[in-house]
A and B are shown apart, each in its own frame.
Chain A
Amino acid sequence: MGLEQATDVRGRGSLAIEARDLERTYGGKGGLGHVTLEVPPGVIVGLVGPSGCGKTTLIRVLAGISRPTGGEVRVLGREPAHFTNTDRARLGYMPQQSVLFPTLSVWQNLGFAASLNGVGLRRRRRMKDLLTFVGLLGDRRKLLARCSGGMQRRLALAATLVHDPELLLLDEPTAGIDPILRERFWDRFRQLRDQGRTLLVSTQYVGEAAECDLVAVMDHGRLVTFGTPQALRQQAFGGDVVEVRPQQGWLTRQELGRIAAEPWAISVTQRAETVVVVVADAEATLPLVVAHFERAGLAVDAIEATVPSYDDVFVALIEANGGGDGPEAPGDRRQAA
């Protein structure tokens, strides 16, 4: 689902999340600034950004834990500051840290979360399914204090899902999880999305952006960009990337200038012994690039259209925004503490 599709749904029905100029500051400093976001129902939104960029603060505001200091926000059609218990029962919130009870067993913790969210007595089946999904059924009698950090994260996810919420606000659910289980988590997220649930997932693994329908990149409390993963790639580099490795290694300035003068070239840069050519459409342009090098008598070892990693996309977007290691948002610091 593309950004256009995502934003187009406004015309079709209510948005799961709608924020305009949303602000959450602490004593007038830090936090969130002018975040505008529209999330249609039934999508997975990835929330990525450097540590302390305001991801957790945004999630806490959306969960109705923290009151915005400016702008407007509606979640499932209601302002979070005025959530009723019925509204809250439609949400599933997973905090950044594992916050269950160490003196209770895995099963008792999940039972507590179920009761807290109003799941009645006919819940054993669901609890068993969830524990099977997170791989903790065999450890259900184990005290949480004796569980590893990863097991605690898995249980926290199960506790978030136990009441089958419509909107899931997950703050770094895959942190500390091994890659295999992380993949299972994303499978489950996609399953939930396909069932019509909406998920807002913050993550420290930028590569997970590829798993999302929409990605919001945050920096210094601001939303840098919001769109589909593909659109973000395009936005980061201005187009597709073709990498050429000439046999002679470095090209002269004249040779690079001639490539840049081609109508299909958006930009040309030399990085080590590789020439990086940004084009509008790599697949269509690749033969033209090969032809140019042949005409110029430049032998090449390899010419290929490359897909930049999301790490590169993320770095490019943040750098383009003039960001990087900025100060942490107070909400993030508090949560981390």
Chain B
Amino acid sequence: MLQVSAFFRKDALDIVRQPRLLLTLVLGPFLILLAFGLGYRDRTEPFRAWFVTQPGGPLMERLERDSGEIGRYMSIAGTGTDEADAVHRLRDGDVDVVVVLPADPDATIRDGRQAEVIVLHDRLDPIELAGVTFAARLAVGEMNAAVVAGVIEQGQDEAGVVGGLVGQASDAVAQAQAVVAVGGDAAPAMAELGRSMDVLDVGLGAGLAATQLARLDGGAGSQDDAATTLAQLRQRYDAVRNSAGPGGAPTPDSLAELEADLDELGSRLDALAVMDPIVVAHPFDSTVRSVVPGDRNLTDFYAPAAIALLVQQFGVAFGALSFVRERQLGVVELFRAGPMGAAPALIGKYLAYLAVGGLVAATLTALVVNLLSVPVGAGLGWLVVALGTTLLASIGLGFVISLASSSDTQAVQYTLIALLASLFFSGFFLTLDQLTYPAKVLSWLLPATFGITMLRDSMLLVTKPDRRDVTALLAYGLVAFVLALAGARRRLAIER
């Protein structure tokens, strides 16, 4: 116990005696998060796109006419017909992407093939590249939608013409009704109605064909109803004409039914005409809602990860330098000659680094929570569990590194490698789901992987940390302790 407390005091004082180091440990990550929060633009500027097309190409005309913006993430910076000139602009940084439109899209589409839009870029960053790809797909989607909207508009124009034909058919029915009412010959009126029905067949078919493009539910809607009504009308007309026989007059009831059908068809065509083609071309929009209470910004998202990473690096760095420094000081000679074992030294060091590291983590967390308004959703208890287990495992990893290193330079290098690995494999930037199995194993070797998950759970998701994460870190800490103990015993053993 005396030796444990001696090492505890010695190693704790060793850190506490370096106030600038402590200040850096706390303020460094906090100021980085603060600068990030203040400096990060939550809105992405659209990519400046230069469009290359044939002179007078139909797509460019439409794009220029409709909007200066194609989708939310791409804007038209200019247009031209020279692809080489456009690439030159791209390389000079005048534009972000070059969009080469197909020369004759109509012909390609008529051939039953998709017309290809080529997007050129000079981005190396995979995340930026993903952004370019996403923006390009969105822009092409917008162009497709614009084409669809145009076709729908054309269909609506034609539906207006069909509306006139319905009016003519209604007039013929009214004329037949008037003739039947006075017992006259309805044949001419019925013949006129028959001609109107034929024209309606053709006109309505063409108009509806366009609007069918926007059908999404497999049958319901004005267009489909209009087609059904027309079919019903044709059936009824044929029945009236057949039942009357050659030269016979239709009954008033059958004419009234024809009149009702035509009214219904007219009203359906009216409904079709007033639909917004843009809405039909973009039938869905999306609204994303989180089931997690409260708003979370990017600083909130990265704050728990930054704390977990700091805690890991504190434990790893101090643990890694601990035994190495003692060896370099030569004090191990005293330990070997003195009446002491490896266990008290190791336990004392663990306690010292847990105490000081806990203090550093608590101070940083308090700053982040109070000054950056990052929430502590699941409560302080779980926060302590997450930080404590992460620190415990990290100190163990540091001790293992320390006992495997022959100099402080080597220990520092291992520590930096642990940091670099953490940036890629701990879930700090990239989600763990994107890692495949060999890489996942590497991520499990990093205490920060579990720490980040637990802190995000307990701070942002307002849920208790996963029990498996807590267990994994405790097991990690235990294994590291056993390895460190074996290493320390070997170091303190009599020299062979």
Contacts and interface: CB of A to CB of B under 8 A. Distances in A.
A97 B330 CA distance: 8
Contacts of A335: 333
Contacts of B336: 63-65
B334 interface: yes
Contacts of B2: 115, 118-120
A95 B334 contact: yes
Contacts of B494: 64-67, 80-81
B9 A117 contact: no
A64 B336 CA distance: 8
A116 B6 contact: yes
B431 interface: no
A85 interface: yes
Given A112-B9, A116-B6, A118-B2, A103 B333 contact: no
A118 B334 contact: no
Contact of A111 (B3, B6, B18): B6
Interface string B321-337: 00000000111011111
Contact of A115 (B3, B335, B495): B3
Interface stretch (A1-9, A86-94, A199-207, A219-227): A86-94
Interface in B399-429: none
B337 A65 contact: yes
A108 B10 contact: yes
B6 A93 contact: no
B331 A118 contact: no
B10 A104 contact: yes
A158 interface: no
Given A64-B336, A65-B494, A95-B334, A103 B3 contact: no
A127 interface: no
Contacts of A118: 2-3, 339
A104 B14 contact: yes
Nearest to B330: A99
Interface residues of B, number: 25
Nearest to B329: A99
Contacts of B330: 95, 97, 99
B13 A116 contact: no
B341 A85 contact: yes
B340 A116 contact: yes
Contacts of A103: 13-14, 17-18
B340 A108 contact: no
A111 B7 CA distance: 11
Contacts of A95: 330, 333-334
A100 interface: yes
Interface string B285-328: 00000000000000000000000000000000000000000000
Interface in B1-45: 2-3, 5-6, 9-10, 13-14, 17-18
Contact of B495 (A66, A97, A112): A66
Chain A CB count within 10 A is highest, among B10, B331, B335, B339, for B339
Nearest to B17: A103
Nearest to B2: A115
A112 B334 CA distance: 11
Interface in A175-216: none
A89 B338 CA distance: 7
Contact of B13 (A85, A104, A120): A104
A108 B13 contact: yes
Given A85-B339, A115-B2, A67 B334 contact: no
A86 B339 contact: yes
Which of A63, A111, A119 gathers most chain B CB within 10 Å? A63
Given A67-B494, A95-B330, A99-B330, A88 B337 contact: yes
B467 interface: no
Interface in A98-126: 99-104, 108, 111-113, 115-120
A114 B409 CA distance: 31
A138 to B, nearest CB: 21
The size bracket of the interface on A is: 35 or more
Nearest to A88: B339
B17 A116 contact: no
Interface string A43-72: 000000000000000001001111100000
Nearest to A85: B339
Contacts of A116: 3, 6, 334-335, 338-340
B496 interface: yes
A165 to B, nearest CB: 10
A102 B328 CA distance: 12
Contacts of B340: 85, 116
Interface hub of A81, A87, A95 (most chain B Cβ within 10 A): A95
A71 B215 CA distance: 100
A237 B405 CA distance: 53
A91 B13 contact: no
A215 B263 CA distance: 131
Contacts of A80: 494
A169 B331 CA distance: 16
Contacts of B18: 103
Nearest to B6: A115
Nearest to A82: B494
A143 B14 CA distance: 11
Contacts of A60: 333, 495
**Most A-side CB within 10 Å, residue of B3, B494, B496:** B494
Contacts of B10: 101, 104, 108, 112
A86 B341 CA distance: 12
Nearest to A84: B339
Contacts of A101: 10, 14, 329, 331
Given A97-B330, A99-B331, A104-B14, A112 B337 contact: no
B337 A91 contact: yes
A169 to B, nearest CB: 8
A112 B14 CA distance: 12
A161 to B, nearest CB: 13
Contacts of B496: 67
Contacts of A111: 6, 9
Interface in A213-244: none
B495 to A, nearest CB: 4
Contacts of B6: 111-112, 115-116
Contact of B339 (A89, A120, A143): A89
Contacts of A115: 2-3, 5-6
Contacts of B339: 85-89, 116-118
A196 B306 CA distance: 61
A118 B338 CA distance: 10
Interface of B: 2-3, 5-6, 9-10, 13-14, 17-18, 329-331, 333-341, 494-496
29 contacts: A65-B336, A65-B494, A66-B494, A67-B496, A80-B494, A86-B339, A89-B339, A91-B337, A93-B338, A95-B330, A97-B330, A99-B330, A99-B334, A100-B329, A100-B331, A101-B10, A101-B331, A103-B13, A108-B9, A111-B6, A111-B9, A112-B6, A115-B3, A115-B5, A116-B3, A116-B338, A118-B2, A143-B17, A335-B333
Query: Which are the 9 A-B pairs with shortest beta-carbon distances?
Result: A115-B6, A85-B339, A93-B337, A99-B330, A88-B339, A89-B339, A63-B337, A66-B495, A99-B331
Given A85-B339, A103-B17, A115-B6, 10 more contacts: A67-B495, A88-B339, A91-B337, A95-B330, A99-B329, A104-B14, A111-B9, A116-B334, A118-B3, A335-B333
